């Protein structure tokens, strides 16, 4: 088994262990129990639970970047909505237990610089992806000429973060956020208002 | 000391203990250490840490309702912005440690129905407050005639939830959310666009 395969196997075990145990009580033994590897073998690859979870956040980041790279869109409007959908689908296709574990990890960010750094990288990537498509759509006339890509991108990311938190906190589906965001884009960003059916 | 004073004292001790210890490792002893009361006395009032934290969420809810009741506004626009400010000020006037503890509590909601019920009540109250002022402002011509109060209210609450999560997760100030929301209100909700300077 290559190092890459071993890492992939450990990441999958970490995912299953987070779904079963949540973050707070998670131990290296829980992760080993979900994997063919022993706890000692996990420690050979990662010094601590913290290191392993940092690697896990890197793994999620890479998978997310791959998914956004796979977006095939006809124009900036399609692309913007597809990007929103990738984020929302990530949220709704995961079990609530996993979303919950991720929110637990987010809540540890102030105490764990390694977590905060990785969550910040994720957010920066997403903001930049929105800025890029908003700028392109403004320049080609898809979006209104006075759209401010940076400010709008941050706004969209804040909405998506809020939707993910609300799913865990009060059990809302992300469907209403999808509807609201499509309506926001249609009414406020699109140059030819009404061209998009919600 | 009346029961009310004792409860207030315990709530203040809980606040301090959450700021010092966070939620995950918090014990009844930590709360007793922040209070003139013994751990036994705390248990006289609350059966468990869970019961005490449910009472604490009720206490936060009541204080929040009082703060929104104190809003004095000239018109629906002022009132909407003041409501946004009450939520954002709540966020920025608290130490980051307290916001973090609250996010930890939010992340426990799927496992703790008592938490979820209270967080849901908080969210419902806020949505209804926005619906009320949006409806009034639509009817008196402050806001555009086609504003959908329910959908817009949920959108605003999702943005505010996202801003609070991002403050903990990546350390953003809520200032950029305030600016974005004022700009959103000015550009998209206000009937006479431009009447409000950001």
Q: Are residues A32 and A66 in the same domain?
A: no
Does residue A52 lie within any of the structural domains? no
* Residue A36 belongs to a domain: yes
CB contact under 8 A, A158 and B171: no
User: Given this model, what pLDDT does residue A50 score?
Assistant: 94
Residue B103 at interface with chain A, using a CB cutoff of 8 Å: yes
| Rounded CA separation A182/A185 (Å) | 5
CA B1 to chain centre: 29
Q: What is the DSSP string of B58-122?
A: HHHHHHHHHHHHT---SSHHHHHHHHHHHHHHHHHHS-HHHHHHHHHHHHTTTT-HHHHHHHHHH
Cα dist from A65 to A13, A27, A191, whole Å: 21, 28, 29
pLDDT tens across A32-63, in order?
999 998 999 999 999 999 999 999 999 999 99
Mean pLDDT of A148-177: 92
Please count the CA atoms within 13 angstroms of the CA of B76 that sit on its side-chain side.
22
What number is the average pLDDT over the span B102-114? 93
- Tally of domains in chain B: 2
Beta-bridged to residue B190, according to DSSP, are B143
* pLDDT tens digits, one per residue of A70-122: 899 999 999 999 999 999 987 778 888 999 999 999 999 999 999 999 999 99
Q: Is A60 on the interface with B (CB under 8 A)?
A: no
* Secondary structure (3-state) at A143: strand
Residue B117 sits in the same domain as residue B180: yes
Say if residue A5 is in the same domain as residue A103: no
Q: Looking at residue B1, what is its pLDDT?
A: 57
Tokens describing residue B179: 């600016």
Let me know whether A29 and A122 are in one domain.
Answer: no
- Average confidence score pLDDT of chain B: 91
Residue A90: predicted pLDDT: 77
Does the residue B195 lie in any domain?
Answer: no
Q: Which residues of A103-128 are buried (b: 16+ CB within 10 A; e: fewer)?
A: bbbbbbbbeeeebbebbbebbeebbe
Residue A36 belongs to domain spanning: 1-46
Measured at the alpha carbon of residue A66, what is the angle toward residues A143 and A189, in degrees to the nearest 5?
Answer: 10
What is the model's pLDDT at position A172?
86
Stretch A145-168: mean pLDDT: 94
Contact A6, A45 (CB under 8 A): yes
The pLDDT, as a whole number, for residue A91 is 72
Mean pLDDT (chain A, rounded): 91
pLDDT tens by residue, B69-106: 889 999 999 999 999 999 998 777 888 899 999 999 99
pLDDT of residue A198: 41
**Do B167 and B89 belong to one domain?**
yes
The reported pLDDT for the residue numbered B128 is 97
Say what the pLDDT of residue A78 is. 95
CA distance, residue A3 to nearest chain B CA (Å): 31
Examine the domain organization and report whether B139 and B82 are in the same domain: yes
ipTM of the complex: 0.90
The CA distances from residue B179 to A42, B84, B163, in Å, are 46, 11, 12
CA angle B67/B151/A152 to nearest 5° reads 85
* Domain presence at residue B86: yes
In terms of domains, do B82 and B163 share one?
yes
- Which pLDDT belongs to residue A194? 47
Residue B196 lies in a domain: no
Cβ of A168 within 8 Å of Cβ of B106? The answer is: yes
Based on the domain organization, do B75 and B155 belong to the same domain?
yes
CB contact (8 A) between residue A123 and residue B166:
yes
Query: Is the CB of residue B112 less than 8 Å away from at least one CB of chain A?
Result: no
The rounded distance, in Å, linking the Cα atoms of A128 and A124 is: 6
Residues B125-140: tens digit of each pLDDT: 999 999 999 999 999 9
Asked whether residue B132 is domain-assigned, the answer is yes
CA A188 vs. chain centroid, Å, equals: 25
B96 Cα to chain A: minimum distance (Å): 8
pLDDT digits (tens, 9 = 90+) for B1-32: 577 788 899 999 999 999 999 998 899 999 99
Q: Residue A60: list chain B partners with CB under 8 A.
A: none
B22 touches chain A (CB under 8 A): yes
CATH code of the domain in which B37 resides: 1.10.10.60
Task: Say if residues A114 and A54 touch (Cβ distance below 8 Å).
Answer: yes
Which pLDDT value is given to residue B193?
58
CA distance A76 to A83: 10
Burial class for A187, CB neighbours closer than 10 Å (0-12, 13-18, 19+): middle
Is A191 in CB contact (< 8 Å) with chain B?
no
Residues A172 and A92 in one domain: yes
Give the pLDDT of residue B4. Answer: 74
Q: Predicted confidence band at A186 (pLDDT cuts at 50, 70, 90)?
A: confident
Domain co-membership, A26 together with A78: no
Nearest of B96, B116, B97, B105 to residue B17 by alpha carbon: B97
In a domain, A196, yes or no: no
Residue A1: is its pLDDT beyond 70? no
Examine residue B58 and state whether it is found in any structural domain, yes or no.
no
**Which CATH number does the domain housing residue A100 bear?**
1.10.357.10
Q: What is the pLDDT of residue A195?
A: 47
Asked if residue A82 and residue A61 are part of one domain, the reply reads yes
Cα–Cα distance between B55 and B49 in angstroms, integer? 10
In the prediction, which pLDDT does A19 show?
A: 94
User: Which strand (E) or helix (H) includes residue B191?
Assistant: none
Closest by CA position to B26, among listed B37, B15, B40: B15
Instruction: Looking at the structure, tell me whether residues A39 and A134 fall in a common domain.
Output: no
pLDDT of amino acid A196:
47
Encoding tokens for residue B44?
A: 């006289």
Strand partners, B143: B190
Do residues B88 and B163 touch, judged by C-beta distance below 8 A? yes
């Amino acid at each position: 088994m290559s190092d890459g395969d071993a890492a992939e196997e450990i990441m999958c075990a970490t995912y299953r262990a987070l779904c079963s145990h949540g973050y707070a009580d998670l131990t290296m033994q829980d992760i080993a129990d979900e994997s063919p590897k022993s706890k000692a073998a996990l420690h050979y690859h990662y010094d601590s639970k913290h290191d392993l979870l940092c690697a896990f956040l890197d793994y999620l980041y890479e998978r997310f970047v791959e998914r956004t790279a796979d977006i095939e869109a006809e124009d900036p409007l399609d692309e913007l909505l597809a990007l929103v959908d990738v984020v929302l689908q990530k949220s709704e296709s995961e079990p609530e237990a996993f979303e919950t574990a991720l929110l637990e990890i987010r809540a540890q960010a102030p105490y764990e610089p390694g977590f905060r750094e990785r969550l910040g990288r994720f957010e920066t990537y997403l903001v930049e992806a929105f800025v890029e498509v908003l700028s392109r759509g403004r320049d080609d006339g898809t979006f209104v000429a006075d759209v401010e890509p940076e400010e709008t991108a941050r706004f969209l990311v804040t909405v998506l973060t809020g939707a993910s938190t609300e799913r865990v906190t009060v059990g809302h589906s992300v469907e209403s956020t999808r509807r609201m965001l499509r309506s926001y884009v249609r009414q406020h960003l699109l140059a030819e208002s009404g061209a998009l059916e919600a």
